[in-house]
Amino acid sequence: MLLRHVEFLARVSVLAAKKLAAEYRKSLAELKKNPEHFPFLEVDGIPPHLYRKCLFYGRYELVFLVADNIVNIDTVRDCRQNPDSLFS
């Protein structure tokens, strides 16, 4: 999913695509340090207090689970997308 976002952005601006990838890497470093720091995702139809979210590069969001000190990223989405389509 991240690659799709980077490819789309690169059609408009290669520099912006590189910045998106760099911000993603920074977010991964933050997740590694303290994943519980990030707020829970609140979307209808998703059990509360299960998924967390990490906003990066202004409008992109990592949606992830933390289980047994392991972070599992489920999706990277553009926040302009309909949140109801997160896992469909």
- Give per-residue pLDDT as tens, 35-76: 999 999 988 888 889 999 999 998 999 999 999 889 999 989
Identity of the amino acid at 31: L
The pLDDT, as a whole number, for residue 5 is: 84
Is 6 a residue whose pLDDT tops 60? yes
Q: Which residue has the higher pLDDT, 87 or 62?
A: 62
Q: Specify the amino acid at residue 81.
A: Q
d(CA 9, CA 30): 23
CATH of 2-85, one of 3.60.130.10, 3.30.1490.100, 3.10.105.10, 3.30.2310.20: 3.30.2310.20
Query: pLDDT-based confidence at 9, cuts 50/70/90?
Result: confident
pTM reported for the whole predicted model: 0.80
C-alpha neighbours within 13 Å on the C-beta side of residue 68: 0
Q: Rounded distance, CA 82 to CA 71, Å? A: 24
